[in-house]
Structure 1
């Protein structure tokens, strides 16, 4: 016969593992430094300006 298992401890360990996994995902998703954020924002703005500069006409005008 096997040893009895404390289901409460098992449940808590499973919940803790789930929280750790969620924290790991959030660190990967949101955990960026300020320098990385500003670099990404600068790249986005530069790309937007570049694409806007290559438009044939203003988007508000039809013709």
Structure 2
């Protein structure tokens, strides 16, 4: 994506919830949307270790 205005006219990612609880559906986001969660689980574990808390990773969804 070279043209920054190209994304402005595309369809927004699907959202969940309404009003102040509205958020993007993580399962619908892609690298094209700027979403890369590949290292999120590792980062969460590191942050819990720094805080001296046990890591409680979210269960992975099966597809």
TM-score relative to the length of structure 2: 0.31
Select the structure of larger CA radius of gyration: 1
Greater relative CO (CA pairs within 8 A, separation 6+): 2
TM-score relative to the length of structure 1: 0.31
